């Protein structure tokens, strides 16, 4: 897999975004994007990486793996994909999901 800096830059360019546009969409500074893409910033927080992944419309696992936060041999992809989808829900939708889970559990 390519380095984190290459991963971010390639995905940004694929989406046709400038560094400033990506930074704006991710809610971080364009300087931070520049530092990440040049490799100057080597260990960004998972929160920053999650913001970038969402701005690039990527699964969070992809960027966390590129940053070496995940050991690819021990990844539970189903759980991570579920959490990524769940985190994109509104608070009302999350409550609906919880109600449904409670309903399913009550049928045991």
**Are residue 91 and residue 54 in the same domain, yes or no?**
no
Segment holding 63, helix H or strand E? helix 60-66
Residues 44 and 65 in one domain: yes
Q: How confident is the model at residue 21 (pLDDT cuts 50, 70, 90)?
A: very high
Residue range 5-18, pLDDT digits in tens: 999 999 999 999 99
DSSP state at residue 29: -
The predicted-structure confidence for 53-70, as pLDDT tens digits, reads as follows 999 998 888 888 889 887
Together in a domain, 58 and 41: yes
Region of 57 (left: φ > 0; alpha: ψ -120 to 50; beta: rest) is left
Judge if 31 and 60 occupy the same domain: yes
Residue-range definition of the domain harbouring residue 40: 1-71
Name the domain count of the chain.
Answer: 2
Neighbours of 81 (CB within 10 A): 13
* Residues 91, 55 share a domain: no
Asked whether residue 54 falls in the same domain as residue 86, the answer is no
CA 84-97-91 angle, 5° bins: 70
DSSP at 70 = S
Give the residue from 62, 7, 14 showing the smallest Cα distance to 33: 7
The reply to whether 67 and 82 lie within a common domain is no
Same-domain pairing of 13 and 57: yes
């Amino acid at each position: 897999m390519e380095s984190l800096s290459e991963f971010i830059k390639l995905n940004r360019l694929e989406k046709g975004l400038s560094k400033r546009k990506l930074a704006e969409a991710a809610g971080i500074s364009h300087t931070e994007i520049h530092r990440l893409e040049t490799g100057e910033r080597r260990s960004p927080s998972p929160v920053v990486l999650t913001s970038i992944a969402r701005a690039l419309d990527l699964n969070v696992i992809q960027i966390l793996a590129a940053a070496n936060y995940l050991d690819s041999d021990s990844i539970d992809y189903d759980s991570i994909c579920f959490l990524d989808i769940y985190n994109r829900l509104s608070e009302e939708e999350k409550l609906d999901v919880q109600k449904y889970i409670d309903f399913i559990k009550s049928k045991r």
